[in-house]
Amino acid sequence: MDLKRWALGGALLISAGTLANCSQIFEATGAGGEGITTAMLVGADGDGANWISHGRTYSEQRYSPLDAVNRENVGQLGLAWYADMDTARGQEATPLVIDGKLYLTTAWSKVKAFDATTGKPLWEYDPKVPGETAVKACCDVVNRGLAAWGDKLFFGTLDGRLIALNRDTGAVAWEKVTVDQSKSYTITGAPRVIDGKVIIGNGGAEFGVRGFVAAYDANSGEQLWKFYTVPEGGDPKDAPAYLQKAAETWNMDVLGASDAIGGGGTVWDSMAYDPDLDLLYIGVGNGSPWNRAYRSPGKDGTGEGDNLYLSSIVAVRPKTGEYVWHYQTTPGETWDYTATQHIMLADMEIDGAMRKVLMQAPKNGFFYVIDRETGKFLSAKPYVSVNWATGIDPKTGRPIENPETRVDKTGKPAVVTPGALGGHNWHPMAYSPTENLVYIPAFEAGMMYAPEADWKPDTARGFNVGFNLGAGDLPPDGGFRKQVAGTLKGMLVAWDPVAQKPRWTVEHPGPWNGGLLATGGGLVFQGTTGSEFNAYDAANGKKLWSFAAQTGVVAPPVTYTVNGEQYVAVLAGWGGAYALSVDGDLINRKAPVRNISRLLVFKLGGAAKLPPEPALADLPLDPPPSTAAPEVIAVGQLKYGRYCAVCHAPGAVGSTVLPDLRRAGSLESAAAWNAVVEGGALKDNGMASFKGSLTKQEIEAIRAYVIKRANEDKAIEGTKRVARK
């Protein structure tokens, strides 16, 4: 882009208050020369040609004013080019587009650069994340994207590094380890840059870590500040005031008493920034462990306390990391109800007054509108079916809980909606200022929470949540399974944030559909579980265009122009938490959802063709006979739930992303099985050794359990067509 001309155009489009702010920043950083500047990031809304930060603008609206592709002509949209990825895991990234070049991250934290018009590869960078890091990741080895500043690009790696690359060459400018790598921290989220500070959080709240977000100097990689979201445990007298306040809401004797009770509260995805208020908003995750009775027990052993700042939106000063305000969506969370979901800023008229609001549809199923100057609760209504609370008290902003679902207190299992994957997960929403609608990639998938009796943390590895994740296994009954699959719902909800109700809804074949893009052409773009990439009318949800993507699409699209021609790009490839946890052959009810990882780029009249879709294979289930004693199988089931289910699916039903253990060759031989699970024979592929967490007997019990499950499913399934590799 013409930088001088753009800076002027951008400046004209931003408010007077912001402009004053910008001129100060110009002086402070000496920006205005090469590369991405604060003025560009603040004025990104006026730069339709490019997509220079994760949510396109600091407000994270994912709305592009581009209208060359619109309601009238979207039927002529065709494939301009595509690029196959060299990973076959979940693809969740938002590409950045700067001056006709497209940059993206893929699974395993790799980075690739392309000519945005032709697809010609320009460079690629592989940070060589060790394969066994996968065991630290709750939700696939995904990465959601890059940040740009000056002549550099920034991204986090699964093993906790923050890396700066030269944008022209892909050469490493600096690299910094941001986490204690002896613990199960991972980075999957995209950094943001504010005034030359690169802000990045991390994940790991299923594995006992203590959450934080930190800022690094964009030029040197030096750490500038670090903001913890939960107290350290023990005596808080030397902690900052906001953590002393938080300490009153925790059992401080238990918190931090073990490496596996770090409290959680990880900042693994959403951030937004208001340059006028100079506030950075961060979304804070769930408690670690989930079960509050183990995380923060009261006198009678049941869970106690709000446990700040879990499941909260927190406003901090980006210069210093100073706490300003918080709003907690789920006090005393115990269901994995993160508030890390997309945070979006907008100004809108509510009850006759213009309000600066912050909006979020966190996992807990309520859509929140918050005053972003003060953190004051304005309104909330359920955007999906919810049974854990009957509503939010408008005076206190606190949920009105259903005691039947307060599983940490009762100790009794309960089926709760939403489940641990939420009513909405990381998949970005989008906003249309002309319709004043927020588009939500929502879904319904309840879950049974069965507190694990006498749970003990494992400080080394495994899902440390305090619930028995094997307890909700479905019985080996094909009809019943189809029935349960039939209760799973996925939908695109067009939500009116003022009226707090849907204006229209599009049903999808199942949960876990793609992130969203809204455009000035009156369109909403979304990929689906049904392996389509679609365009809908932003006003009424009418499907106007559809492309057969051959794969589930979960990532959000972007749009840009080069030489005046508009493109729409989306990274396709099925994966992530839900994809790993369900029977991939059942979810969309027509055909297995497969992973074909590929960047798809469209333009009007595009005439490129994808290669033919690979054929499905007939793969009979052919396990050895199940001969183990029931008590051995029971041990195997419990251990499988804790150590295996999160990647290989509850009940060992097998996803379409990772190996189906019921079909594993090593099932035939105790020695071969042990070589993988204890010996780490496949660690470079992502299957770490579980030595130290599982005994030889337990490893053999897991094999017995999987053999039993395979025989049950053989009886109900017979041979079916599957998409597994």
Catalytic center residues? 336
Containing H/E element for 519? Answer: strand 516-519
Q: Is residue 328 within the footprint of Ca ion (CB under 5 A)?
A: no
Comparing CB distances to Ca ion, the nearer of 304 and 333 is 333
Single-letter amino acid code for the residue at 702: I
Given a contact cutoff of 8 angstroms between Cβ atoms, the answer to whether 411 and 254 are in contact is: no
In the complex, minimum distance from the CB of residue 528 to Ca ion, in angstroms, rounded to a whole number:
24
How far, in Å, CA of 271 to CA of 267, rounded? Answer: 9
Residues 329-358 that bind Ca ion (CB under 5 A): 336
Containing H/E element for 71? Answer: none
Single-letter amino acid code for the residue at 195: D
Number of residues counted as binding Ca ion (CB under 5 A): 2
How far, in Å, CA of 394 to CA of 222, rounded? Answer: 43
Give the three-class secondary structure for 263: strand
Given a contact cutoff of 8 angstroms between Cβ atoms, the answer to whether 315 and 366 are in contact is: no
Comparing CB distances to Ca ion, the nearer of 10 and 362 is 362
The site string for Ca ion over 277-306 (x = CB under 5 A, - otherwise) reads ---------x--------------------
Single-letter amino acid code for the residue at 577: A
Residues 180-209 that bind Ca ion (CB under 5 A): none
Containing H/E element for 247? Answer: helix 241-247
Comparing CB distances to Ca ion, the nearer of 157 and 286 is 286
Given a contact cutoff of 8 angstroms between Cβ atoms, the answer to whether 376 and 285 are in contact is: no
The conformation of residue 301, written as its DSSP 8-state character, comes to S
Exposed, middle or buried: residue 623 (CB in 10 Å: 0-12, 13-18, 19+)?
A: buried
Given a contact cutoff of 8 angstroms between Cβ atoms, the answer to whether 314 and 343 are in contact is: no
Neighbours of 479 (CB within 10 A): 8
In the complex, minimum distance from the CB of residue 203 to Ca ion, in angstroms, rounded to a whole number:
8
Comparing CB distances to Ca ion, the nearer of 233 and 362 is 362
The residue among 639, 653, 631, 712 whose CA lies nearest residue 470 is 639
Q: Is residue 140 within the footprint of Ca ion (CB under 5 A)?
A: no
Exposed, middle or buried: residue 627 (CB in 10 Å: 0-12, 13-18, 19+)?
A: exposed
Comparing CB distances to Ca ion, the nearer of 38 and 188 is 188
Comparing CB distances to Ca ion, the nearer of 159 and 336 is 336
In the complex, minimum distance from the CB of residue 364 to Ca ion, in angstroms, rounded to a whole number:
12
In the complex, minimum distance from the CB of residue 337 to Ca ion, in angstroms, rounded to a whole number:
9
Given a contact cutoff of 8 angstroms between Cβ atoms, the answer to whether 563 and 117 are in contact is: yes
Comparing CB distances to Ca ion, the nearer of 137 and 633 is 137
How far, in Å, CA of 389 to CA of 403, rounded? Answer: 9
Q: Is residue 712 within the footprint of Ca ion (CB under 5 A)?
A: no
In the complex, minimum distance from the CB of residue 335 to Ca ion, in angstroms, rounded to a whole number:
10
The residue among 303, 271, 302, 274 whose CA lies nearest residue 285 is 271
In the complex, minimum distance from the CB of residue 680 to Ca ion, in angstroms, rounded to a whole number:
26
Q: Is residue 269 within the footprint of Ca ion (CB under 5 A)?
A: no
In the complex, minimum distance from the CB of residue 607 to Ca ion, in angstroms, rounded to a whole number:
43
Q: Kindly list the residues in this chain that would bind Ca ion in the complex (CB under 5 A).
A: 286, 336
